[in-house]
Amino acid sequence: MYLSSSLLSWNHEVRYGPLAKPGIPNQVISGEGKLKFAGQQIIYGYLPAAHTNGDIFLYFPILDTLVAGGAVTTGQWPVMDIRQGGWIGGLVNAYGILASIVSADTTVIPAHGPVTNGTEIIRMRNMYSGLHLDLAEQLNPGMGWDDVREMGLLAPHEAQFGDSSFFVETAHRSLQMAYVPD
């Protein structure tokens, strides 16, 4: 299997030690729910297999504010941690869930990058959905990373997010892992 030097160095750079005891979760969620905190309703939900396999969101209806978690990154390409269950299909599903919650004016707080709005969430959902379809079409003829990179699938968005090579490589690899049998 082909591994680029950027992917190898990236995997090395993101290793973290174990969490301290206060940081270890004591409750697990696997769907959506509601809770009250400080008199305000909070809607929360699980976004499986997006950035990792542990992403969640919090939506504060009275403030029309979405805390999007690791699934949303602005100003740069998101990191899909394929070692921890993240893949392009999960990222697309996460954006679909988030797009169903937001309005155009919803304040969206991403994991990384500047605060954005609901319109941008919908635009990113469409962009990642298109990439997912384009990459899936390339699996049948057996196109590899070099072939996909040359296609420039995300070139129109690089002015906003930067070089897409690593992101497209990771998305392509995640599809191979999901769809191509061993």
Task: State the pLDDT at residue 30.
Answer: 82
Strand intervals (E) in 20-144: 32-37, 40-47, 55-60, 65-73, 107-112, 116-117
Would the pTM of this model clear 0.75, i.e. be above it? yes
Quick check: 174 pLDDT over 60? yes
**Burial (CB count within 10 angstroms: exposed 0-12, middle 13-18, buried 19+), residue 174:** buried
Of 40-44, 87-91, 134-138, the poorest mean pLDDT is in 134-138
On whether the 29-179 domain is CATH 3.60.15.10, my answer is yes
Quick check: 176 pLDDT over 90? no
Adjacent-strand bridge partners of 73: 112
Whole-angstrom Cα Rg for the chain: 17
Break the chain into its structural domains and give their ranges.
29-179
Q: Which residue has the higher pLDDT, 173 or 6?
A: 173
pLDDT in tens, 109-156: 999 999 999 999 999 999 999 999 999 988 878 888 778 888 889 999
